[in-house]
Structure 1
Amino acid sequence: QAVKQGDLLFRIDPRPYQDALARGNASLVALDRQIELTQRTVNAQQYNAQSVRAAVERARAAASQASDTLHRMEPLVSHGYVSAEDVDRARTAQRATQAELSAAQLQAQQAVAAVSGVDALVAQRAVVMAEISIAELNLEYSTVRAPFDGRIVSLETSTGQFASALKPVFTLIDTRHWYVVANFRETELKGVRAGTPATVYLMSDTGQRFQGTVDSISYGIAPDEAGLALPGGLPRIQRTLNWVHVSQRFPVKILIDKPNPELFRVGTSAVAVLEPGRGNDGERH
């Protein structure tokens, strides 16, 4: 079945992801409200701390005035200008104002320590936002659309069937670009590079020829000699003769200019002719 980019391929039940998204949005609204209320409390605590600091300044001024008064009166007792009783009252006032200053300073420290913040709630909000992003992504994943124009093959599911993670339900072939991969001997690759013109014939209809250009040439294949096994990832190309050393073959990837969508299929046999130079005879594989 042919599909266009953006066509709906299948849809997973979105309700669990919709519920997760709704729950995340509700948590965000509640948390924002909590941050707002907490910020009001923090503001009130800050105002109280400022008020207590002002009270400390008043107590400090009163204590300073009482100390100055006492210091002025003490030398006057010996001259009889003030009585001892007046000095005692001044000394008592000085001690009282000093005690009030100490109490005000303690209250100021308590007020400053009582000032909280919303940093923890703001950090929690970032967590909720991340959860919402994940929920939105999962909800988006529940609707699978074709990422490109192509053709669906190997369909292994039907309506109502459960889909399992990491288990394919069909294969989507990209029909926007078609490539032919031909294995050329290393002795035939002289002058061949990306952009080299090529002519391709399909075994399904040898009467039609298609023009193309070399897209890339493999820079490595897996050696088949004993003791030279390499990690996976490189193409393995079997040699046609085992009893004589022959030239190794390397994959050449050819991009077809105007492919016939009715003829080109993945795995179709083809013949490729490269033209590494103008007027030179092509090399056939």
Structure 2
Amino acid sequence: PYQDHDKAIASLDSARAQVDNAKSVLAQARAELGEADANNPEIRAAVATLEGAELELSYATVEAPVNGYVTDLTLSPGSYASVGSPMLSLVNTDSWRIVAYYKETQLERMRPGQPASVYLPAYPGVRFEGSIQGIGWGVEQQDGDGARGPDGVPSVTPTVDWVRMAQRFPVRITIADEDPDHPLRKGMRATVRIDTSGTSITTGVE
């Protein structure tokens, strides 16, 4: 019996020694590997390397701020882009806008938000719903080519020189919803009809 007791004590001491040794090995391994969180130098170095690679990858990717169609693309596979040189044009399809020039005598009854009907020669009989987004507050008085004048406002060429014609001001019309069966394109001509409390005012858009 005493021998069995001594053997049990010896086995217990041996087991305790093995546990202590395992704890020592574990502590040494933890010291070599460092902390398990972000304070670990090796983890910080790996994270920094990953972030640097992701940053370099982002430089190779150009994302458009809006949805649209790419046109006038001058690049081909393997070409290099140069700073300040346009390589393509993007037609924004998130928001279609029409600029119709109405006579100043017609503006009194117009207000932002009023409904508008838009008709395109490209799609006879098709009506696009829209609304007034805004009305221009100024245009150049002298002759112009339709571009912006020196004061930064649109320049509208009068129809004739010997008659005092009513000046035309830009009225911005937004299209409510695009019809996938009748896609819109930048530069299309249109006829716009604005509903002003039962009275329609129509003009053409070049």
CA distances 1:170-214 after superposition (whole Å, capped 9, x unpaired): 111110111111000000111211101111101111210111110
Matched with 1:25 is none
1:282 and 2:203 correspond: no
CA distances 1:231-277 after superposition (whole Å, capped 9, x unpaired): 25211111111221100000100111122244311100000001121
CA separation of 1:225 and 1:180: change in aligned 2, threshold 3 A: closer
CA separation of 1:214 and 1:190: change in aligned 2, threshold 3 A: same
Matched with 2:128 is 210
Matched with 2:190 is 270
User: Which is richer in strand?
Assistant: 2
Structure 1: runs of 5+ lacking an equivalent:
1-28, 30-135
What amino acid is aligned across from residue 67 of structure 2 in structure 1? D
1:193 and 2:111 correspond: yes
CA separation of 1:158 and 1:206: change in aligned 2, threshold 3 A: same
> 1:230, 1:256 → 2: CA distance?
27
> CA shift at 1:152, angstroms?
0.6
Among 244, 248, 257, the residue aligned to 2:163 = 244
What amino acid is aligned across from residue 244 of structure 1 in structure 2? V
> 2:184, 2:131 → 1: CA distance?
16
Q: How many residues align?
A: 149
> 1:198, 1:159 → 2: CA distance?
44
CA separation of 1:152 and 1:248: change in aligned 2, threshold 3 A: same
1:147-162 map, 5 Å: 147-162=65-80
User: Which is richer in helix?
Assistant: 1
> CA shift at 1:225, angstroms?
5.7
What amino acid is aligned across from residue 186 of structure 2 in structure 1? V
Q: TM-score, normalised by structure 1?
A: 0.48
CA separation of 1:139 and 1:213: change in aligned 2, threshold 3 A: same
Structure 2: runs of 5+ lacking an equivalent:
1-40, 42-53
CA distances 1:92-116 after superposition (whole Å, capped 9, x unpaired): xxxxxxxxxxxxxxxxxxxxxxxxx
> 1:283, 1:142 → 2: CA distance?
50
Higher RCO (C-alpha 8 Å, min separation 6): 1
CA distances 1:44-89 after superposition (whole Å, capped 9, x unpaired): xxxxxxxxxxxxxxxxxxxxxxxxxxxxxxxxxxxxxxxxxxxxxx
> 2:142, 2:59 → 1: CA distance?
43
CA separation of 1:233 and 1:138: change in aligned 2, threshold 3 A: farther
Aligned-pair identity in percent equals: 37
| RMSD of equivalent CA atoms | 2.6
> 1:137, 1:248 → 2: CA distance?
53
1:1-285 map, 5 Å: 140-224=58-142, 231-261=150-180, 262-277=182-197, 279=198, 281-285=199-203
Q: TM-score, normalised by structure 2?
A: 0.65
